[in-house]
Structure 1
Amino acid sequence: MLLLTAACTSAGSRPAPPPSSSVTPVVEPATSSTPPPESLACPAAARTIAGRAAGHGATVRGSSSRSRGLTTCRYRMSVASGHAACTSAGLRVDTGPGAFTDFNRWVDEQVQNSSVGRPGSAPVQVHAPRLGPTVEWVPALRTLQYGVLGRWVTVSMSCRQAARALTAARRLALTVPD
């Protein structure tokens, strides 16, 4: 009861502020512990590599979209003869906060899906040490995916031959900056 009375009687008077030399500014913590992810620009070398995958004298048209933490680059290739070895390529870079976790979930789901009637959709681990320890190739989808901390990269190729698609996908993936 004494405390209550003391609080009520001193409510009208405020204590003097401390001298300015002893005032320490208070910085409010950010609402998020991580800054918002930045999206990357499409690598300039990716267009060149997409053209090489299509064949000699290829014409490459590109488009891209960027949002916070997500970059998507699309390439359409054609050759004068009309018989391009590869006709399209896609590069998707996710740098969002859950990118690496999402990549691992994708690997698990692909393995599960391949066991229930989707032959060829199981990811196959590919040796590509410059990309990271876990690089997965899905032959039926002609898709290469890898995850490293803070990043999930997907490269999709539309090629007649799976071996050519894998080679081009590896080269495209190497254009993504660290």
Structure 2
Amino acid sequence: MPEIDLSSMQPGDAAAALRSFPRRYRDAARTAATDLDGEPDEAALEEMARRPGPDGWSATDVVTAAADRLADAHDVLTRALVTDTAVPSHLTATPSQVPSGGSGTMEDALGRLDASSTRLAEVVDDADPERWTATLPVDDGGTTTPLQLLQTSVAPVVVWIREVDKVLRAVRGRPRS
């Protein structure tokens, strides 16, 4: 899976990206599921969203993984911006692939993404600017900063927008097996 370099991203940039994720994911899903007449078919989108693509995960898996990543980041970043508690190492690195296991509907996953994006953007907006560069311990013995944690939390979600489109285009017109 391609990586994206967000090392120059600042908190304000991240908050803007977070607020755009729900719309961008919905747009990617609707564009990929558009029928030949140019109109999205909601029933077809839901059915297609559950089909695994060539890499083994479905569009619902991708959106669920994005929502989970941002929810985890919200919980950890909320603490990291006020204390120096250890950060879980899985949030300090960009995942190499989408974690599978999405369940429910695409609409539910998009709703969760909307909620987690909004909550994390609010934490970013309310943070003390001086706290972004604080050194935090990582549970694997390393260190990070709240800003680096934010960057590594947002980066995969940016990449996964393209995965939603890719998976839906790959399964479009292919019957469920």
TM range (shorter): under 0.3
More strand by share: 1
For CA contacts below 8 A with separation 6 or more, give which structure has more relative contact order: 2
TM-score normalized by the length of structure 1: 0.28
TM-score normalized by the length of structure 2: 0.28
Bigger radius of gyration: 1
More helix by share: 2
